[in-house]
Structure 1
Amino acid sequence: MTPRLQLDSDILNRIDGQGFLAPRGIHDLRSGPHSSAALGMSRSFAEHRPYTAGDDVRRVDWKVYARTDRLHLRAGEHESALACHLILDSSASMRYQGRRGLQSKHQFAALAIGSLAWLAHRLHDFWSVSSLSGIQSHRLPVAGGSSHLEASLALLGATACSGDGFWEHLQKESNRFSTSAVLVIATDCFDDVSVIHNSLTACATGGRNVILLHVCDPDELDLQTGHHATRFTGLETDQQIDTDCPSIRGAYRDVLRDHLKQLDTACHTLRVQRTLLSTNAMLGDALAFAIRQQRERHLTSRSDLVFLTDTPDSQRPPGSLS
């Protein structure tokens, strides 16, 4: 039997009754709070997106192809009215779990994604789920309802970590995501900031509202993982490093702060929200915080499209790095 991700009732209780607000310009023509002015496939189509290998060829707009010599798909109401694309980093580095972490980064991130899928179902919204690494991809298309939630939890429960190259893969996948949608990306952000920036740029195109759930183990935030000689083994490579943690801890923290500063600059430039979450934090509180921040910024924004910037230190969720 395929393992199913088990949701936590405490987390669900913390986020119940909340929900991300869709980008402005979305109108209430269906039952959900993030509905779109677009009509279904039997009527007119408010948007198209480029064809990607694996898409249903029955949805190709051949009239557009005749005019442009390019393959585009017609986006039906379920796609243009989408509330959330939920994306899980399943690269090998996400397997890490230190002594203080309540679970591995991947388990923590999968639980966050699964809880948000439950919330979308609760709000009668549509969502998609993608689990990506450099060597694998597992995805569910845009849909809604109880059966889609069960399929989402089954996918999240069965996904294993392997390989690297999450951000390059995500950039290639970005054409699959609806415009004027909310993207939630759960990842440890372990890559060059330039690579992350390029991928986030592609994700934010077309008025998408991008929310980055930056998942870290407590050991990765302060290197309190050993008192003396410690051997580190790479999760995405076979490299091993022997070092003395106390002697390098200060330099490590300096490098980490520089990485986070560069990441914040990239997110600020692209108007992407980055919420740093530690795996020993209460996930329900952290998700409620992220949702609340998105809604507050949405309601106070003067722009036509709603994005988020980095979170002030005084408003960071429990378990994040100050």
Structure 2
Amino acid sequence: MASIGQIVSPTSGNDALSRAQQRAALVPDCLVEAKRIANTVIAGWHGRRKRGIGENFWQFRPYTDGESLSRIDWRRSARDDHTYIRDHEWEAAHTIWLWADMSPSMMYKSTYGNASKESRALVIMLALAEILARSGERIGCPGIMEPISARNAAERLATALMHTPLTGGLPETAMIRGWSDIVLIGDFLDDADNVMARLGPLARRGLSGHVVEIADPAEETFPYSGRTQFTDPETGSQLVAGRAESVREDYQRAYLARRDSLGQSLRHLGWSFVTHRTDHLASEALVAVHTHLSGMPAKATHGGQL
């Protein structure tokens, strides 16, 4: 995605064929790493810990107009002046869409990171696919792979990614119908308002969203000084700073303000927002997203449905 103060990228990203070959070579290694990480995290769970069709009790919640009267728990409702619904735990197969940003800005890796943003995003996405597939969930990738329910979903997703033309920006989601979850992994360096203009309609359609922002540590700390040249990997435009350290505070302020604005807007929709730095373990982000998918994120306050 287009960047705000993007640090210079190690490759130009102008040669589409070379870029596609690089990604094709990267995916198999990411799949191996994803399986290793998935095996260190929870390898599946019985029940999604979300309300839905099932036999296990999940929670009582207030009745709302339009819901079936047969779902009211009259014994619980008799305790006070409110009417309550008895929810059960979701145990049926569920569709989860996974997407990772493959635009040129994701190729960046500083000496402070353990992997490129692209590599880390792929590992997290494929590890999620591995864990969710073991739980019997249906896994899809917008514009790349239709939802499937198979134990080898991660391998099939990796193969699809290797043979998919390069795309940038957020995915097309017209093919997503019905209630489902979507996990979006990228650096999200576009203006927060522009990102929300794309994501807001998805929430209003009833999708539960989970956004993972991948950041290189240098993008947060801006450890540069002296004369430094910065290149936008999306447009190729360049900026030369005579004393890079003189703009560090302004840069960090703008970078964090964009992140805070995006996070607040997403949480306002009832979506989860996780930040992850490439100098941290990939399993940290995996556990965080897994927790949200298991039904732990906060309730929507406006505009979205869970």
TM over 0.5: yes
| Gap change, CA 1:188 and 1:301, over 3 Å in 2 | closer
| Gap change, CA 1:261 and 1:109, over 3 Å in 2 | same
Paired residues of 1:92 and 1:161 also in contact (CA < 8 A): no
1:202 to partner: Cα distance = 2.1
1:227 maps to a residue whose letter is S
**Is 1:85 equivalent to 2:97 in the alignment?**
yes
| Gap change, CA 1:149 and 1:106, over 3 Å in 2 | same
The alignment-based identity, stated in percent, is 19
Distance 1:13 1:254 in 2: 38
Distance 1:272 1:222 in 2: 27
Paired residues of 1:10 and 1:284 also in contact (CA < 8 A): no
Distance 1:24 1:177 in 2: 21
- Which stretch of structure 1 is more off in the superposition, 233-242 or 149-158? 149-158
TM-score normalised according to structure 1 size: 0.66
Distance 2:150 2:246 in 1: 53
1:7 to 20, 29, 32: 32
Distance 2:229 2:300 in 1: 51
Match of 2:255 in 1: 256
Q: 1 or 2 for the larger relative contact order (CA 8 Å, sep ≥6)?
A: 2
Distance 1:83 1:28 in 2: 16
Tell me the secondary structure at the aligned position of residue 110 of structure 1.
Answer: helix
Deviations 1:6-40 (A, max 9, x none): 33254112323346937533x259xxxxxxxxxxx
Paired residues of 1:23 and 1:209 also in contact (CA < 8 A): no
**Is 1:113 equivalent to 2:143 in the alignment?**
no
Paired residues of 1:86 and 1:184 also in contact (CA < 8 A): yes
Paired residues of 1:114 and 1:156 also in contact (CA < 8 A): no
Paired residues of 1:90 and 1:160 also in contact (CA < 8 A): no
Paired residues of 2:184 and 2:211 also in contact (CA < 8 A): yes
**Is 1:143 equivalent to 2:185 in the alignment?**
no
Tell me the secondary structure at the aligned position of residue 103 of structure 1.
Answer: coil
Paired residues of 1:215 and 1:279 also in contact (CA < 8 A): yes
Match of 1:45 in 2: none
**Is 1:205 equivalent to 2:204 in the alignment?**
yes
**Is 1:124 equivalent to 2:150 in the alignment?**
no
- Which stretch of structure 1 is more off in the superposition, 151-160 or 80-89? 151-160
1:81 to partner: Cα distance = 4.8
Alignment of 1:138-177 (within 5 A): 139-157=144-162, 164=168, 166-167=169-170, 170=171, 173-177=172-176
**Is 1:214 equivalent to 2:213 in the alignment?**
yes
Task: Give unmatched runs, 5+ long, in structure 2.
Answer: 1-20, 56-91
Distance 2:230 2:300 in 1: 48
Task: Give unmatched runs, 5+ long, in structure 1.
Answer: 30-79, 131-137, 308-322
